[in-house]
Amino acid sequence: MNAIATPPALTAFAAWFTPDRRASIQAFLGTLAPFAILLGFGTDSVWQQALIITGAALQFLAGILSLVNVRDAQTAWVIVRAAVYGLAATASPALVLLGFYDEATNAIILTGVSLGLSALSSLLAILIGKQQQIDNAVRLAQAADGTWSVTDLSNREG
């Protein structure tokens, strides 16, 4: 199979970054915003968009951290692709409202993200799909005497 190794530090961070903790971080930032506005650090509109972007970033991080429990590359790619789509679809329009760029640039960015992820998906389908076909067609089996033999599973019945 296409096994993915997970670094221990990432596993520890994923255990710490629970949905409750993510919600607490968002709640903290939401309560910090009015105080910052009161002190003159931005407007209501700016903080609203910043909180939207922060929420999208936290959701993206949570999606990426869900890879800790994934052991095959194809599933990992589906999770990464969904996380990137979610981040781009949320953050890019918020950046338009903040004045970083206009609607036309937003459309180009979202189209570029979509096309780029589609191209990578096609490439991974070629690379991962072929390896999975090989993995599914041939298995090594160890006999009781310790020798290994190749078992052809390509003609098995479903």
Record the tokens describing residue 76, joined without a space. 């990992």
For residue 142, the model assigns a pLDDT of 57
pLDDT in tens, the chain (158 residues): 445 566 788 788 888 999 999 999 999 999 999 999 999 999 999 999 999 999 999 999 998 888 887 877 778 888 888 899 899 999 999 999 999 999 999 999 999 999 998 888 888 777 776 555 555 555 555 566 766 665 555 455 54
- As a whole number of angstroms, the distance between CA 139 and CA 134 comes to 9
DSSP one-letter string for 113-147 = HHHHHHHHHHHHHHHHHHHHHHHHHEEEEE-TTS-
Predicted structure pTM score = 0.68
At residue 74, the pLDDT reads 75
Predicted local confidence at residue 115, as pLDDT: 92
Give the contacts of 120 (CB within 8 A, at least 6 positions apart): 77, 81
- pLDDT at position 66: 85
CB–CB of 109/88 below 8 Å? yes
Q: What pLDDT is recorded for position 67?
A: 82
Sign of CA dihedral 138, 139, 140, 143: negative
pLDDT of the residue at 23: 92
Query: Which two structure tokens, joined as six digits, stand for 142?
Result: 């160890």
